Amino acid sequence: MESTLKEYFGFTKFRPYQKEIVENILQGKDCLVVMATGSGKSLCYQVPPLITKKTAIVISPLISLMQDQVMALKQRGIRAEYLSSAQTDRNVHNNAEGGRYDILYMTPEKACMLAASFWSRLLDSGICLLAVDEAHCISEWGHNFRVEYKQLDKLRDVLLSVPFVGLTATATEKVRGDIVKSLKLQVPHVTIGSFDRQNLFYSVKSFDRGTAFLNELVTEISACADKAGSTIIYCTTVKDVEQIFASLKEARIEAGMYHGQMSNKTREDSHRSFIRDEFYVMVATIAFGMGIDKPNIRHVIHYGCPKSLESYYQESGRCGRDGIPSFCKLYYTRSDFAKADFYCSEAHTAAQRKAIMESFAAAQRYCTTTTCRRKFLLEYFGETCSFGSCGTCDNCTNSKTESDMSREAFLLMACIQSCGGNWGLNLPVDVLRGSRSKKILDANFDKLPFHGLGKDMPANWWKALAYQLISNDYLVETFKDLYKTLRVGPKGMQFLNSCNPDYQPPLYLTLTPELLRDDTSKDAVGNGVVNSLAQPEFDRLSQADDQLYKMLVEERMKLARNNGTAPYAICGDQTLRRITLTRPSTKARLANIDGVNQYFLKTYGDHLLESIQRLSQELGLSLDAEPVSESPTPSKAATLPGNKRLTPAKFEAWRMWQEEGFTVQKIANYPGRPAPIKEETVFEYILEASREGCSLDWDRLCLELGLTQDIFDRIQNAVSKVGKEKLKPIKNELPEEVSYIQIKVGLRMQEMGISMGLVSPSKRQKLEVPQVQEPVVAVEATENSVLEWLANFKDGVLLSDILKHFNGSTEESVVDLLTNLEGEFLIFKKNNLYKLM
Ligand SMILES: Nc1ncnc2c1ncn2[C@@H]1O[C@H](COP(=O)(O)OP(=O)(O)OP(=O)(O)O)[C@@H](O)[C@H]1O
């Protein structure tokens, strides 16, 4: 499985859950996969056909999405095609029937229309799975119900022994149940991953509609548009799309547009140009939602409150799919909150209307919350969060101003209560502001003691206060038919009961910019725009590296144009960045870079090596720099500026170790330091970063620290005897050579439930047993003898062990031979271990 992953996708490690899902599919089991956007669900159905050599059928809702996926798969040497009304190549149908594709995409309509003879022929050739992508579309409870999905159960009776796999990024328990039932999944293997997109930074700002804000937005976008990476601006109306697009054009920012009132052809062209980096900014309505699989989108900006939190998660999820830190920013105005009626017009039943109202209200609460936004999102999707603050959203990183709002809160809540608690927010606010509208006079609310007491503050200020009181559970929203009403909840009643008109106990609330109402609020909005969209720290390359990177981006663009494909399909930004930092001089070295697959190497390898050599020479950069090892899981947005929980020294040590792949020894003696520090201190820093929630490659840490299974077990035994409160008694229980830092790492692993059993076998093997016996007779290294011998070690072998075994050949000739084999993609090297492909 790993060699298939490297050969076709260029990756050396599966992301969490991928491998077990593939294994279950290979065993013929049905699966339900609920994992975050951008977490790598597609790979789960893309790997089995490459192993079984049978076709995978993938049902996908959008033609544009299928076309993009097919384009990207072809660049990986995978035989992929799609069947739909948009397919112009007549041969595809016949080839598909004959099983000549690894992966065959089709729309649900097409799948249900295909004749029984098509399926029976294809079954004869072999079908390894049927995957239903965006499977939440099957459920009326999902936020994107599509009636065509409902008929997919028909296929179950045709494809009797084929495993069915439902995949989605958003599914409540009810929707999950619906997917299982509708697809008739048989005792499925269910995977529910975290919804957390760790590399995304979330922020929200309120804004006032008008030219001033549009100018600000355009300045902000121009700051990020010329850097590598794209931006999507989602608007709630076509009018907004056109207005922003016009403003960008005026500022000479190349942008595209996408909305439902454009013709199909213009929309497709716009989509294609964006995917192919012909412009970097797309202004769109949510019609440009699910179908976007471009990995290097760095900013997703919402201009207006989205219609539901589910759709916000989907749309913002288009950002940073390659794992590089990226930004999701939402701008809202209070008038957006009055659009419930508009959204409810899509509903057919009362239950649907209620569901729409509720998820729109959740999106509004997301806008106005003053606590951790990540936690808010995750808890909305039913996840329990152990953290109170993520450190990577505006609310966790901005300093907050709190103020005693007892008097104002008393007025508002008492007014709501006096009005009977069954109105929306507008009426009590109008009463407070002294309105004499007919509605108020008819209800005699002008006689209330609160009438006019709040006239010094604008209506929006009172509404902002109400949202803070909702966020803090003093006020409760309820939904009746089309109406949202507001009443004082138990916590609010407790507060009111302890108040009288002259005295109110303190009630501290975090002040949002709308509540601040002085010049600082304006600054907070204005400055925040550009600052928060500054380029992620991830992109900080030295000046020469940066130049090389940009030149390679250009080279990739040329290759893409010549081959009629998108640049990202040739290779991702992250891979290009690794190439920039390592500047390989041979195919073997290029092959070893994470993200480089066999097709890329064969098709573009020579050209790229020649470019790297030429450009590096021009820039005075040496070739074959130390390789950068990176974790296959997306890097946490903790790498963004704003992580205040670690000191810069600790954070930097962690970053160099985890993200740059430096050894602890190298970090301790890094030339940039005024004086070297102890290696043990570096280990301590890395451990502390882990306690602050930064991810660690634990097996690499054990390897560097010499923490073997045996030592780990001994530490556990010692802890069970003397407890883990103090280190000294544990140390006393252990052999002299076990160090304190080994104990600390052992304890941390235990705390996190990581056992040595979970550490990758290849490294365990290296830690525990000497792998290779030195032969008694001289053995010569030839291509065949090396390949045959390597086949015995599925977890890989170190160069020193290879040299020990092939003691009949010189070191130089063995290294040459290995290099050739790497270039041929017959073996590959990862973390100094040589493995057979
Ligand atoms: N094992 C891996 N190592 C490195 N990158 C990976 C790995 N698996 C997937 N990726 C990359 O992660 C990105 C997102 O993957 P993918 O498109 O499968 O996400 P998804 O879960 O289907 O998201 P969505 O629900 O938004 O469609 C892709 O660029 C893919 O190449």
**Same domain, yes or no: 216 and 185:** no
Which among 704, 707, 749, 711 has a CA at the least distance from the CA of 730? 711
Q: Is 772 domain-assigned? A: no
Token pair, residue 73, equals: 């798969």
Distance 86 CA to ligand 1 centre (A): 25
Taking CA atoms only, the protein residue closest to ligand 1 atom 15 is 40
CB distance 322 to ligand 1 below 6 Å: yes
**Same domain, yes or no: 47 and 127:** yes
**Same domain, yes or no: 655 and 597:** no
Token pair, residue 645, equals: 């929980």
Distance 389 CA to ligand 1 centre (A): 27
Q: Is 531 domain-assigned? A: no
Token pair, residue 532, equals: 């928060």
CB distance 317 to ligand 1 below 6 Å: yes
| Complete DSSP assignment for 277-314 | TS-SEEEE-GGGSTT---TTEEEEEEES--S-HHHHHH
CB distance 48 to ligand 1 below 6 Å: no
CB distance 293 to ligand 1 below 6 Å: yes
CB distance 577 to ligand 1 below 6 Å: no
CB distance 655 to ligand 1 below 6 Å: no
Would you state the pLDDT for residue 528?
Answer: 40
**Same domain, yes or no: 752 and 789:** no
Dihedral, 804, 810, 811, 812 alpha carbons, nearest 10: -160
CB distance 15 to ligand 1 below 6 Å: yes
Which portions of the chain are predicted below pLDDT 70? Answer: 140-145, 225-228, 289-291, 341, 345, 347, 399, 480-482, 517-540, 626-648, 671-676, 755-776, 831-832
From 3, 8, 20, 39, mutation site for ligand 1 pocket: most ligand atoms within 8 A of C-beta: 39
Mean pLDDT of the chain: 84
**Same domain, yes or no: 32 and 141:** yes
Residues contacting residue 632 through CB under 8 Å, at least 6 positions apart: 11, 12, 13, 14, 15, 594
Q: Which of 378, 397, 416 is at the close of a domain?
A: 397
Residues contacting residue 614 through CB under 8 Å, at least 6 positions apart: none
Residue 374 Cα to chain centre, angstroms: 12
CB distance 594 to ligand 1 below 6 Å: no
Q: Is 778 domain-assigned? A: no
Taking CA atoms only, the protein residue closest to ligand 1 atom 12 is 40
Residues contacting residue 281 through CB under 8 Å, at least 6 positions apart: 221, 225, 230, 231, 232, 233, 248, 253, 254, 255, 256
Distance 65 CA to ligand 1 centre (A): 14
Taking CA atoms only, the protein residue closest to ligand 1 atom 25 is 37
**Same domain, yes or no: 362 and 220:** yes
Q: Are 39 and 14 in contact (CB under 8 A)?
A: no
- The ipTM, to two decimals, is 0.97
Distance 68 CA to ligand 1 centre (A): 14
CB distance 634 to ligand 1 below 6 Å: no
CB distance 271 to ligand 1 below 6 Å: no
Q: Is 698 domain-assigned? A: yes
**Same domain, yes or no: 139 and 72:** yes
| CATH code, domain carrying 92 | 3.40.50.300
From 293, 296, 381, mutation site for ligand 1 pocket: most ligand atoms within 8 A of C-beta: 293
**What are the residue ranges of helices labelled H in 498-586?**
513-516, 519-532, 543-562, 567-570, 573-582
The dihedral region occupied by 340, where left means phi > 0, alpha psi between -120 and 50, and beta the remainder, is alpha
CB distance 600 to ligand 1 below 6 Å: no
From 1, 5, 103, 321, mutation site for ligand 1 pocket: most ligand atoms within 8 A of C-beta: 321
Q: Which of 510, 527, 556 is at the close of a domain?
A: 510
CB distance 536 to ligand 1 below 6 Å: no
**Same domain, yes or no: 105 and 160:** yes
Taking CA atoms only, the protein residue closest to ligand 1 atom 23 is 38
Supply φ then ψ for residue 483, to 5 degrees: -110, 145
Residues contacting residue 609 through CB under 8 Å, at least 6 positions apart: 584, 585, 586, 587, 590
Taking CA atoms only, the protein residue closest to ligand 1 atom 8 is 40
**What residues make up the domain containing 14?**
1-192
Q: Is 81 domain-assigned? A: yes
Distance 395 CA to ligand 1 centre (A): 28
Indicate the number of domains in the chain: 6
Q: Which atom of ligand 1 is nearest to the CA of 134?
A: 25
Taking CA atoms only, the protein residue closest to ligand 1 atom 9 is 40
Q: Which atom of ligand 1 is nearest to the CA of 572?
A: 29
**Same domain, yes or no: 393 and 414:** no
CB distance 41 to ligand 1 below 6 Å: yes
Distance 293 CA to ligand 1 centre (A): 9
Q: Which atom of ligand 1 is nearest to the CA of 42?
A: 18
| Complete DSSP assignment for 809-833 | S-HHHHHHHHHHHHHTTSEEEETTE
What separation in angstroms does the CA of 511 have from each of 4, 305, 369, 456, 514? 54, 20, 11, 18, 8
Residues contacting residue 734 through CB under 8 Å, at least 6 positions apart: 711, 714, 715, 718, 743
Would you state the pLDDT for residue 537?
Answer: 42
Which among 198, 39, 23 has a CA at the least distance from the CA of 31? 23
Residues contacting residue 206 through CB under 8 Å, at least 6 positions apart: 331, 332, 333, 334, 367, 512, 513, 514, 525
**Same domain, yes or no: 375 and 407:** no
Sheet holding 281-284, edge to edge: 200-206, 326-332, 297-303, 230-235, 281-284, 255-258
Q: Which of 332, 364, 397 is at the close of a domain?
A: 397
| CATH code, domain carrying 810 | 1.10.10.10
Q: Is 253 domain-assigned? A: yes
Taking CA atoms only, the protein residue closest to ligand 1 atom 6 is 40
Q: Is 533 domain-assigned? A: no
Task: Give me the sign of the Cα torsion angle 74, 80, 82, 83.
Answer: positive
CB distance 169 to ligand 1 below 6 Å: yes
CB distance 373 to ligand 1 below 6 Å: no
Distance 5 CA to ligand 1 centre (A): 13
The dihedral region occupied by 371, where left means phi > 0, alpha psi between -120 and 50, and beta the remainder, is beta
CB distance 295 to ligand 1 below 6 Å: yes
Distance 663 CA to ligand 1 centre (A): 28
CB distance 136 to ligand 1 below 6 Å: no
Q: Could you read off the pLDDT of 70-81 as tens digits, one per residue?
A: 999 999 999 999
Q: Exposed (0-12), middle (13-18) or buried (19+): which is 563, by Cβ within 10 Å? A: middle
Q: Tokens 């009304």 correspond to what residue?
A: 85
| Complete DSSP assignment for 233-244 | EEESSHHHHHHH
Q: Is 29 domain-assigned? A: yes
CB distance 16 to ligand 1 below 6 Å: no
Distance 768 CA to ligand 1 centre (A): 34
From 43, 199, 328, mutation site for ligand 1 pocket: most ligand atoms within 8 A of C-beta: 43
CB distance 40 to ligand 1 below 6 Å: yes
Give the number of residues written for the chain: 837
Distance 40 CA to ligand 1 centre (A): 3
**Same domain, yes or no: 605 and 585:** yes
CB distance 320 to ligand 1 below 6 Å: no
Q: Could you read off the pLDDT of 700-739 as tens digits, one per residue?
A: 888 888 888 888 888 988 988 888 878 888 999 998 888 8
Give the Cα separation of 399 and 421 in Å (integer).
35
Q: Could you read off the pLDDT of 337-379 as tens digits, one per residue?
A: 877 767 776 767 777 777 778 888 899 999 989 889 999 999 9
Q: Which atom of ligand 1 is nearest to the CA of 44?
A: 18
Radius of gyration of the chain (CA): 30
**Same domain, yes or no: 277 and 378:** yes
| CATH code, domain carrying 574 | 1.10.150.80
CB distance 61 to ligand 1 below 6 Å: no
